[in-house]
Amino acid sequence: MATITNHMPTAELQALDAAHHIHPFSHQAELAEKGARVITRADGIYLTDSEGETILDGMAGLWCVNIGYGRKELADVAARQMTELPYYNSFFQTTHVPVIALSQRLADLAPGDLNHVFYAGSGSEANDTNIRMVRTYWAEKGKPTKTTIISRKNAYHGSTVGAASLGGMAGMHAQGGIPIPDIHHIDQPNWWAEGGDATPEDFGLERAQQLEQAILELGEDKVAAFIAEPVQGAGGVIVAPDSYWPEIQRICDKYEILLIADEVICGFGRTGNWFGSQTLGIRPDIMTVAKGLSSGYMPIGASIVSDEIAEVIGNCEFNHGYTYSGHPVACAVALENLRLLEEEGIVDRAGREIAPYLKEKWEGLLDHPLVGEAKIVGLMGSVALTPDKASRAAFASDPGTIGYICRDRCFANNLVMRHVGDRMIICPPLVITKAEVDLLIERARKSLDETLEKAT
Ligand code: PLP
């Protein structure tokens, strides 16, 4: 059998891909007909495909390559760690230096008293851990009926059965027998799509107060935790009105409900600070992290938990863990990634210099006839496409059609910009420069113009 390499013709690679590879979140038959774009290399914020095209990656991979592509330091650390200790676990009273060092670093970086880390291989797994951890916590505190976790519609918390149940994606819930019991969903703070005639502030309060209503309806003695992304990512980069988070915090405090901030996207500089909770003034009891933790160079996720939770859980044997919990190579790479993000001032510069520049340019897209709303926090942004800005109307055709068109125009113009329904999204690597921001906006505008031409 011939060896498959980057040098094979694109069509052959596409045919082989379609023959044997089932893609996540994809319509397999449609994809096979079209042929997947084959990415062969990447450097900085650019991808190269098998045709030699250079593509600006406006999504940092899948919201994860915060440090940018091609950092040899991370490859070197991985190679060293693989040579020295490629694998060992910490199940049976053993540990190793990379997991010790990363845990100390995360305890240092995380806000408040979030000083303890439980590792997973991904964000989904970490959220599964959270389900079991908060229930175990309450059981250990003598309140075993506190099992329900409240989440939000259109939230994304991952793809495992537990994490997808926490998430509020209707399309996911329609397949595979989820959600699992004792997960309750309230409405999302998406003013553009659901705010009606209310002001954003009133709407934000109303949506936050749904949490209080849910607690009262379900019973305080039944509710274990509330989970939310500081800024909803996969739901369409939905930024809650300013009134939302203070009210959520008040309610969690009042009813002693654990607050889980899912920082899988928002963590590690994405929102302009190390964590989205800091940007939005949230005091979580648990943070879920993944993606930017290793900038996607190795699969790793974690739950970073408070002193109180660690102490309570520590009084029992928590019967939970993954073969790759605290994987030494993933930990070593994550630690090096965090070192570079800090010592090279990448998080700092992204927040202080690039974020305001990008915000100005991104909001400048509001003058485009298709763009009704432009939202951005740090380096994650979205625009809502609409046929009528004043009424915030949605396009009459199948939801998402306009988004598909725009996404395809972006790809044709060598820009990766994702769509969620009629919202277009960016989340570029934090190392993007101002000149590259200009290029991103230029390609986005061109793609919007072409979308307008096709749609009208
Ligand atoms: N939580 C959030 C907020 C996410 O955006 C994602 C992935 O996009 C996850 C959890 C799941 O992480 P993973 O894909 O690493 O399992």
Q: In ligand 1, which atom is closest to the CA atom of 160? A: 16
DSSP, residue by residue, 30-75: HHHHH----EEEEEBTEEEETT--EEEETTHHHHT-TT-B--HHHH
Could you read off the pLDDT of 191-203 as tens digits, one per residue? 999 999 999 999 9
Low-confidence winner among 143-152, 309-318, 390-399, 430-439 (lowest mean pLDDT)? 390-399
The verdict on the CB of residue 128 being under 6 Å from ligand 1 is no
The torsion defined by the Cα of 266, 270, 274 and 280, in degrees rounded to 10, comes to -60
Residue 398 has a pLDDT of 72
Q: How far is CA 368 from the centre of its chain?
A: 27
| Mean pLDDT calculated for residue range 48-57 | 97
Kindly report whether the peptide bond that precedes residue 111 is cis, defined as omega within 30 degrees of 0. no
Cα(278) to ligand 1 centroid in Å equals 19
* pLDDT of res. 322: 98
Numbers of helices and strands, H then E, in the chain:
18, 15
pLDDT in tens, 235-293: 999 999 999 999 999 999 999 999 999 999 999 999 999 999 999 999 999 999 999 99
* Predicted confidence (pLDDT) per residue in 364-398, tens digit: 999 999 999 999 999 999 999 999 999 999 987 77
How does pLDDT run across 9-27, given as a tens digit for each residue?
999 999 999 999 999 999 9
292 lines ligand 1 (CB under 6 A): no
Report DSSP letters for 183-231, one per residue: EEEE----HHHH-TTS-HHHHHHHHHHHHHHHHHHH-GGGEEEEEE-SS
Ligand 1 centroid to 418 CA: how many Å?
15
Global pTM value = 0.98
Mutation test residue for ligand 1: of 63, 124, 129, the one with most atoms within 8 Å of CB:
124
The CB of 234 under 6 Å from ligand 1? The reply is: yes
Task: Please report, for residues 141, 211, 394, 432, the alpha-carbon distance to residue 145 in angstroms, rounded to integers and kept in the order given.
Answer: 11, 18, 42, 48
What is the distance between the alpha carbons of residues 334 and 349, in angstroms, rounded to a whole number? Answer: 20
Confidence of residue 455 (pLDDT cuts 50, 70, 90): confident
Q: Is the CB of 126 under 6 A from ligand 1?
A: no
- Distance between CA atoms of 224 and 139, rounded to whole angstroms? 10
- How close is the Cα of 288 to the center of ligand 1, in Å? 9
pLDDT band at 318 (very low <50, low <70, confident <90, very high): very high
Q: What is the mean pLDDT of residues 133-159?
A: 98
At 298, the amino acid letter reads M
Indicate which residue's Cα is closest to atom 7 of ligand 1: 158
Q: How far is the CA of 257 from the centre of ligand 1 (A)?
A: 23
To test the pocket of ligand 1, the residue of 161, 275, 291 to mutate (highest count of ligand atoms within 8 Å of its CB) is 291
Indicate whether residue 310 lines ligand 1 (CB < 6 A).
Answer: no
User: Is ligand 1 within 6 A of the CB of residue 165?
Assistant: no
Q: Is the CB of 306 under 6 A from ligand 1?
A: no
Nearest atom in ligand 1 to the alpha carbon of residue 127 is: 10
Question: Which atom of ligand 1 lies at the shortest distance from residue 124's CA?
Answer: 16
pLDDT band at residue 2 using 50, 70 and 90 as cut-offs: confident
Distance, CA 5 to ligand 1 centroid (Å)? 30
Of ligand 1's listed atoms, the one at least distance from the Cα of 291 is 15
Q: Is the CB of 336 under 6 A from ligand 1?
A: no
pLDDT at 399: 66
Q: Is the CB–ligand 1 distance for residue 301 below 6 Å?
A: yes
CA angle 50, 56, 62 (to 5 degrees): 90
DSSP 364: G
Atom 12, ligand 1: residue with shortest CA distance? 123
Of ligand 1's listed atoms, the one at least distance from the Cα of 263 is 3
Q: Can you tell me whether residue 440 is helix, strand or coil?
A: helix
Task: Give the three-state DSSP class for 155.
Answer: coil
Beta carbons within 8 Å of 363's beta carbon, 6+ residues apart: 374, 376
Task: Give the chain's mean pLDDT.
Answer: 97
CA of 268 to the centre of ligand 1 (A): 14
CA 328 to ligand 1 center in whole angstroms: 21
Q: Which element (helix H / strand E) includes 107?
A: helix 97-109
**Residue 277 in contact with residue 271, Cβ under 8 Å?**
no
- 303 bridge partner residues: 118, 288
> Is ligand 1 within 6 A of the CB of residue 156?
yes
Mean pLDDT throughout 131-140? 98
What would the mean pLDDT of 423-430 be, rounded to a whole number? Answer: 98
* Ligand 1 geometric centre to CA of 236 (Å): 14
Greatest Cα pair distance, the chain, in angstroms, is: 65
